[in-house]
Structure 1
């Protein structure tokens, strides 16, 4: 790649692109909602939320000074991130709290990028994050899902036209914002039935002596507020 091509590529990534028509923004929201609400669809699309969930655990673990041992993603849409460090303290608390909030916060960050017109930057940034996550995946199913997800971002950002890129980017962000809301409600339902005794909320309760219900409330507040703020940015209202 010569310097001219590299410069053009860099300008394309960091530059801004025109916002799509409002009808396209609303259409992508409707498609994302259709990928979240029906159970038969959600049981498949939830894998993408699990990637963001476990990625949130991993990123915060590294930022808080913990040593990341690996990430596993399973076909039942569950996941596991293993890190080493102090079993208590702020770093462990932040790591445990990051999972359920990560998809929505990523969606909110993505909405901010799209509102600023950085569609290509979002696509390339997501591909880079997925590539970094792939290094820490420790099972075959996890590698397959991350590779396929990353490949979708690369192909769209490299080969698709501006309209398709915009539709894909807006669809992904809407999905993270909407999909991030559902898992805390699912966890709440499981805990009401006596399940999920080792959930993130219960681990946080043991780490902090703050009831698991309070942590679950925090998850709800973060995800719903992220959806509200992100929707306003995406719709330009």
Structure 2
């Protein structure tokens, strides 16, 4: 690869795209809300939230010195991330804490990048993270889910116009910000029925001796805060447009 080619790629990645039209921010927010609210669409799209959830577990496990054993993504949109290391202590606590807040925090990071019009950088970072996650997937459905998701993001970033890329990126970020919240309510609903005795919140309760409901509230507080802050960031783009 020539120096000119590397320079072109670098400029493509880190250059700012033109400001999107203001209406795009509102239309994409409404689209993401529809996907989350309309159950048939949510059943399919929720896989993206699960990918982010399990990716959050995996990333924090590695950052805290644990050894990642593998990730499974299931057809029912559940998932499992296995890591090796001390069964107690801060590393395990932060690893468990990361899952339910990861989609919203990723969405918040995406909103920050969109605030700087770094749309191409956002899409390529998504592809890179999905490729890293694919290495650790341990079941067929999980591998297919990550490959399909990554292929869609790559195709949009490589083959479509800047306008399509912007619309796709905004829908994706809005979806993570909004879609990060419902799983917390689903978690508590299942817990109240005794159907998730080994949930992240219950495991945190066992490690910290703080009630599981407290951890559910922490998940919800972080996710709502990310939605509000990210929403204001994106609204700034609307007002600027």
Residue 108 of structure 1 corresponds to which residue in structure 2? 108
- Higher mean alpha-carbon deviation, 53-62 vs 193-202, is at 193-202
Shift of 1:15: 1.2
Residue 199 of structure 1 corresponds to which residue in structure 2? 199
User: In the TM superposition, what whole-angstrom CA distance separates every residue of 1:47-86 from its partner, at most 9, and x where no partner exists?
Assistant: 0000000000000000000000100000000000000000
Question: Which ranges of structure 1 fall in alignment gaps of 5 or more residues?
Answer: none
How far, CA to CA, are the matches of 2:191 and 2:179 in structure 1? 20
Q: How many residues of Structure 1 are paired with residues of Structure 2 in the alignment?
A: 237
Q: What TM-score, normalized by structure 1, do the two folds share?
A: 0.98
How far, CA to CA, are the matches of 1:125 and 1:191 in structure 2? 35
User: In the TM superposition, what whole-angstrom CA distance separates every residue of 1:142-201 from its partner, at most 9, and x where no partner exists?
Assistant: 000000101111111111111001001001000000000110011111112222111000
Report 1:115-154 matches (<5 A): 115-154=115-154
Residue 71 of structure 1 corresponds to which residue in structure 2? 71
Question: Which ranges of structure 2 fall in alignment gaps of 5 or more residues?
Answer: none
Shift of 1:2: 2.3
SS at match of 1:77: coil
Q: Aligned Cα RMSD in Å? A: 0.8
Residue 34 of structure 2 corresponds to which residue in structure 1? 34
SS at match of 1:69: strand
Residue 90 of structure 1 corresponds to which residue in structure 2? 90
Consecutive aligned runs of 4 or more in structure 1 exceeding 2 Å deviation: none
How far, CA to CA, are the matches of 1:98 and 1:21 in structure 2? 34
How far, CA to CA, are the matches of 2:125 and 2:228 in structure 1? 23
Q: What TM-score, normalized by structure 2, do the two folds share?
A: 0.97
Residue 53 of structure 1 corresponds to which residue in structure 2? 53
